[in-house]
Amino acid sequence: MSIGSQLLETPERQTLRRAVGDLGRRYGSAYYLAKARAGEPADELWTEAGKAGYLGVNLPAEYGGGGGGITDLAIVLEELGAAGCPLLMLIVSPAICGTVIARYGTPEQQRRWLPGLADGSRRMAFGITEPDAGSNSHRISTVARRDGEDWLLTGRKVFVSGIDHSDAVLFVARTEDARTGKLKPCLFVVPRDTPGFEYRAIPMELVAPEKQFQVFLDDVRLPADALVGDENAGLLQLFAGLNPERVLTAAFSLGLARQALGKAVEYAKTRTVWSTPIGAHQGLAHPLAQCAVEIELARLMTQKAGLLYDAGEDLAAGEAANMAKYAAGEAAARTVDQAVQTLGGNGLTQEYGLGALLTATRVGRVAPVSREMVLNYVAQHTLGLPKSY
């Protein structure tokens, strides 16, 4: 537990943080990395976390969830990451997909999906990124068109996490407004075994149990009830999932940063050169202290973003979520780099598991939106500067 967290968090959240940390430490980074290097999902941990109620802590209680919010789910991901088990699908299945369906899904969609997402027995991936659109959601070219009562979905997606172990994917597509002829974003649930839905793994240097996929959608026929929410709601529904994604990505980065800092500090306390622990030297002590400061500041912004979102302050939450994602991503990258430097050659051995984190920390810098686009957002919307892109 970090400095002053007993004042910033409710007793229930403190208890959640301790319990999830205990679970994560029972598995630890050795388990996580072994699964990742074997190309296997971390099913044992996922299943146990689901049975304990941690995966669905943010979902409605009437569907088997914990009735909490994104703030609670961020605690789960951060603590698992700090213990060496940063489960990427927590960002996707309960945070993005679960939140969107809970807020905008029909009662039937909620009954069908939320109980399984809450207890971990079902998983849902999320597909938004396209080869030619990048961070520009306005250029999404995956199109859904009506065919009688059905929808036909056509397009391509890339960097979709965990399809191979998911039951369905929540895809962002665009439909044509009959009044204006303009395309507007809409969300569709597509079961993995739907005809015309093809996916292929993307070879990655990322050491993680979750694989990344490119997707090809060729006139995928969907029933009318595959559409989530209102066809005319547009970006409102989309950002109901994207803001939690940013908050959870910040939590993901914070977990990595805390894991790396813990290993570096322990090593600096026990590694002795010239009869003195290396942590006694300011050349190592000060950079590690700076990392601790940056982690704590990023955690505070992540808490703020989660609390704003849970309070229904979507506009303010968007600004805070972007800032939190940026701050946590930067803190994680610097902390892991400094941890490797502290351990020297040992920092690149599999024994300590820090080398794998070097690549993992890039996730928080490039996804779900790059740090450069976050700075564009802050410059335009927070500072009021002219749009630069």
Predicted local distance difference test score (pLDDT) of residue 167: 98
Give 140-186 as a DSSP string. Answer: ---EEEEETTEEEEEEEEEEEETGGG-SEEEEEEEEE-TTT--EEEE
What's 215's DSSP letter?
E
What's 126's DSSP letter?
E
**Across 223-252, average pLDDT:** 90
**Per-residue pLDDT tens for 15-29?**
999 999 999 999 999
Residue 213 DSSP SS3: strand
Is residue 236 predicted with pLDDT exceeding 70? yes
**Per-residue pLDDT tens for 29-59?**
999 999 999 999 999 999 999 999 999 999 9
Predicted local distance difference test score (pLDDT) of residue 283: 97
Cis peptide before 368 (omega within 30 of 0): yes
Is residue 177 predicted with pLDDT exceeding 60? yes
The domain limits of the chain are: 11-122, 125-228, 235-382
Instruction: Give, in order, the Cα–Cα distances in Å from 69 to each of 55, 72, 300, 305.
Output: 12, 5, 17, 11
Predicted local distance difference test score (pLDDT) of residue 181: 55
Q: Name residue 254's amino acid.
A: L
Tokens, residue 147: 């065919």
* Interior/surface letters 332-359, b for 16+ CB within 10 angstroms, e for the rest: bbbbbbbbbebbeeebeeeebbbbbbbe
**Across 5-23, average pLDDT:** 91
pLDDT band at 235 (very low <50, low <70, confident <90, very high): confident
Residue 134 DSSP SS3: coil
Predicted local distance difference test score (pLDDT) of residue 107: 97
**Per-residue pLDDT tens for 59-100?**
999 999 999 999 999 999 999 999 999 999 999 999 999 999
Is residue 3 predicted with pLDDT exceeding 60? no
- Tokens 């009562």 belong to 149
Question: The domain 235-382: what is its CATH number?
Answer: 1.20.140.10
11-122: CATH architecture: Orthogonal Bundle (1.10)
125-228: CATH architecture: Beta Barrel (2.40)
- Global confidence as pTM: 0.95
- Tokens 């690549």 belong to 359
**Per-residue pLDDT tens for 304-343?**
999 999 999 999 999 999 999 999 999 999 999 999 999 9
Predicted local distance difference test score (pLDDT) of residue 98: 98
